[in-house]
Every structure is written in structure tokens, then in C-alpha cells.
Amino acid sequence: MFLMPPSTRNKILRFAAGVMASAGLLYGVFLTMQGRLQRDETPATTAAKSSEISIELNDTQVSTLKIETVVEQDFLQERHSVGNITFDQNKLVTVFAHYQGRLIDAYLNIGDSVQAGQPLFTMQSPDLLTAESNLITVAGTSRMHNRNLVRAKTLAKNGGISQQAADQVVADQQSADGALKSARDNVRIFGKSDLEIDKIIAERKTDSTLVVKSPISGLVTARAAAPGLYVQPGVAPAPYTIADTSTMWMVANVIENDAPLLKVGQNVSVRVAAFPDREFKGKIIVLGSTIDPATRRVFARCEVDNADNLLRSGMFATFVITTGEPLRAPAVPQNAIVREIDGRMSAWTTVDRKHFLRRLVSTGMNQNNLVEIKSGLNPGEQLVSDGAIFLSNLVAISAME
């Protein structure tokens, strides 16, 4: 038989006594926090399933709780989603050269502001040279026919030429005048003004330098232009891309359940991470006609006001859509609602701040840290906010005993 040394035996006895003391202390704390749990003389499992359970607490325990009043609150009928900011494609222009040629100079860089009519780049254009040369030739021919017409009129008055010859001179002059107008229009297509065209005719001097100007005001969003680059009409990349950023698009995919609530023209409120305190106003301009089978979402495009040019393409955005008039309903703080083990929502009410009754509730919208109560509570009732979850935990623990 093994004999344990007295010192070892004393240590084991002292350790066992300490464990038993600690267990007793924990049990006492549990009984104090539990309060007096009142049930209708039914088993614990039946009480846990009951819709109404009451607890009586002492003054010390009540002092740890926060008791508030159910109020009435206007809940906005809104839907939330996320999207991305992009350029308004209706105000985005890719600026190509109208004719082929080689770039001489490019004046603007990405991010620069540009006004409508401001030069973007210059280029050498063989087509412009041909049009100007033809203009000079046709202008000379027109002057000659004008002089012939003056002489023919004098000769016809004095009987120096036949009427047929005079008519032919008039016809030649009119044909030359029409050719001159056509030649002027051909040069005007290249962006030359009437004063510049008159100067070409007067000086009989061609200039193959073509100036390409911005068709709109906005920002330079892309540039491929470089001196010496040979460009052709419509061949990518475009020398410049200009965007009018006074409005931007927000492209989003809204969940399927919210799709019936959305309509073209509805107002939206947009926020981006770069400006968390700034709200941008917009409206829905396009709604998709189909639901994406992979994501179960519907496409929505919103036009957003960007008068201050703060939004940038590619920004991640959140937005809110108002789908109806505000709904007035009872409201309680978020921490007053407890999700029970079975998934039901409950709240703890009191009349005398001593006895607390658990009530099952139906909740709705959640706004400004307040929860909409659809059923189970009425305005003016008192309930526990801070500490509600601890009361529900006491009931759950007791039910498992």
C-alpha cells in the first residue's frame, strides 16, 4: 500500500478546498445575477419556448440596466446599393483628325481643362494642301470669268458680240462662281475661317498646317498625341479624349428583390469614400430589362451632378434610392432587440422597473440606430436597451438546467 507523504497530502487537500470554494462563489454570483425567474409551473424547456417570460430583479441589478421609452419615428422608405463612378458617355468625345497626316505639336496633357474651340494639336495635312491649291486655282478662274463678263456686257451693248456669245460668257461666269463656293466650303471643312480663306486667295499661298480644336469644354481624360505621330481618321487610339465632367454616371447592380421598386427618374443620393461627408445628388436614367442569372441583380445607371468636379471615374460609390413616402412606426434602440436562439426577435419591457417581461416582436427597417417595430410593442412603453441581451442569456441558461 502506497503511503503519501503528509506534506503532499496537505497540498492536495488545500487545492481541492480552493476549487470547491471557487465553484461555490461562481454559483452564488450566478444566482444573484439570475434574479427571480418566474414561470407558470412548467418545465424549463417549456418556459424557454414561451413567448412571454418574466424576471424580477433587485435594485442593484436594475441599476446596471438602461431603460428607455418606445417612441414613434418616421422611417424613410429607401433602398441601398453600391456602384462605380464613370464618365457620362453622352458627354465623352474622342477627338480624331478629320484627315490623315503627321502631328506637328500637341498642346494639352491629361487632366488639363479645355474650352470648346481651343486648339488641341496641329498636323500636316496633304488633303488640306490639295484643297487650298484647288481654291487658289478656282479663285483665279473665277476672276477671269468675272472680267470676261464685264467685257461681254459692254460689247453686247454696243453690238460687238452676238447674244449667244454673251449668254455663254454669263454661263461660264456662273459655273466659275459655283466652283469657287464649293472650293471655299472644302477648305472651310478643315476649320479655316472666312478671313483665313480670303487670305489664302489674296496671297495665293498654301499652308498644310491643320489645327484640330476641341468640340466641347471639359477635361482631357486621355492623350495619345505626340509630335511626329501619323494619324488617320477613326483609327485608334484617338489623339485626345475630352469629357464634360459636369455630370457623371454611376453604374450599379441592384438586388433582384428591389428591382420592382425602382423607376427611371427616381432621385438618388450618392456618397464616395474620398468625400465621406459630401452628398451628391442624381437620378436614375436607365434600368436594365433583365436580371443577371449569375448575380441575381438588375443593371441601373444614374446621372450624378458633379458641378464641383470632385468625382473621378472609377470611384467606388454607395447610393440610396427613395422608393416611397416616410413611414411612421414605433421605434426602439438597436441594442433593445435581441435575436433569440430560435431566430425570433424579442424585447424586455417593464412597468414598475422591477419586473421585466420578455415580448416577441416583429422588426422592419433600421435607420439612425433605431429599429422599426411592426408588432409587439406600442409607443410609450418602457423597455430595456443596455442589458437586454443579458436578461435573455439568463433565460437561456436557466432553460438548459
The Cα 203–Cα 50 span in angstroms is 103
Query: When comparing pLDDT for 164 and 217, which is higher?
Result: 217
For residue 86, the cross-strand partners are: 249
Cα torsion 392, 395, 399, 401 to 10°: value is 120
**pLDDT band per the 50, 70, 90 thresholds, residue 27:** very low
The Cα 254–Cα 288 span in angstroms is 10
Predicted confidence at residue 71, as pLDDT, reads 92
Q: Is-contact 371 334, C-beta < 8 A?
A: yes
Between 57-66, 71-80, 280-289, 290-299, the lowest mean confidence (pLDDT) is in: 71-80
The angle formed by the CA atoms of residues 14, 18 and 20, to the nearest 5 degrees, is 120
DSSP-derived letter for residue 376 is S
The Cα 228–Cα 212 span in angstroms is 15
What are the pLDDT digits (tens) for 340-367?
888 889 999 999 988 999 999 999 888 8
pLDDT reading at 254 higher than 70? yes
Q: Which fold has domain 36-76+327-400?
A: 2.40.420
pLDDT reading at 116 higher than 90? yes
Task: Kindly tell me the sign of the dihedral angle through the C-alpha atoms of 95, 98, 99, 104.
Answer: negative
Q: Is-contact 269 253, C-beta < 8 A?
A: no
pLDDT reading at 120 higher than 50? yes
Q: Look-up: residue for cell 466652283? A: 179
Give exposure, 46-59, as e/b (b: 16+ Cβ within 10 Å).
ebbeeeebbbebee
Predicted confidence at residue 94, as pLDDT, reads 93
Query: When comparing pLDDT for 77 and 239, which is higher?
Result: 239
Predicted confidence at residue 26, as pLDDT, reads 34
Q: Is-contact 125 96, C-beta < 8 A?
A: no
pLDDT reading at 60 higher than 90? no
Which residue, 57, 61, 53, 47, is CA-closest to 352?
57
**Residue 244: CB atoms within 10 Å:** 18
Percent of the chain with pLDDT over 90: 41
Between 12-16, 36-40, 373-377, the lowest mean confidence (pLDDT) is in: 36-40
Rounded alpha-carbon distances, angstroms, from residue 149 to 130, 164, 167, 202, 222: 28, 13, 9, 21, 55
Helix axes of 194-203 and 126-158: crossing angle, nearest 10 degrees: 70
Burial of 142 (0-12, 13-18, 19+ CB in 10 A): buried
What global pTM score does this model have?
0.60
Predicted confidence at residue 62, as pLDDT, reads 87
Give me the amino acid identity at 343: G
pLDDT reading at 384 higher than 90? yes
What are the pLDDT digits (tens) for 190-213?
878 889 898 888 888 888 888 899
Strand 113-114 with 327-333, pairing: unpaired
**pLDDT band per the 50, 70, 90 thresholds, residue 51:** low
Q: What are phi and psi of 70, to 5 degrees?
A: -70, 125
User: Would you list the domain boundaries of the chain?
Assistant: 36-76+327-400, 126-207
**pLDDT band per the 50, 70, 90 thresholds, residue 36:** very low
Residue 352: helix, strand or coil by DSSP?
Answer: coil
Q: Residue 104: which residues within 8 A CB-CB, separation 6 or more?
A: 121, 122, 123, 124, 209, 227
CATH of domain 126-207: 1.10.287
What are the pLDDT digits (tens) for 326-347?
888 999 999 999 998 888 899 9
